[in-house]
Amino acid sequence: MATIARRRSGATTRPIGIGARRVGRRGLFGLARIVSLIATIVVGLLLLGIALVVLEANRHNEIVNALLDAGRWLAQPFDNIFKPDGRKEQIAVNWGLAALVYAVAASFVAKLLRR
């Protein structure tokens, strides 16, 4: 006695609702990929900002200025957590911490979505 209604298409038989579960699961996998992509972009911006500060990029350049502004905005919650002596070291440590936290948090969220 079958408790799940079944539909027959040719020689194969499968429970109704399997396709709906696949579609739902596919949607969550897609969302997990989007979360991972956004985290990759955020971490990349922060690491690029660190490199621009440490290598003393020209701050009068609009591209450099825009990248540093984006990095500053993303790392704002992590400002002044650590206070090393130099400005370069302070940005490298605090923005690096921000990049690490964003990467771990996004990995955790993506893993939850893939379940």
State the pTM of this model. Answer: 0.75
Each domain of the chain, given as residue ranges in start order, spans: 18-114
CA 87 vs CA 53, 65, 78: distances in Å: 9, 17, 14
Separation between Cα atoms, residue 64 and residue 54, nearest integer Å: 13
Q: Please tell me the predicted confidence (pLDDT) of residue 23.
A: 53
Phi, psi of 47 (to 5 degrees): -70, -35
pLDDT by residue (tens digit) across 62-88? Answer: 999 999 999 999 999 999 899 999 999
pLDDT by residue (tens digit) across 89-111? Answer: 999 999 999 999 999 999 999 99
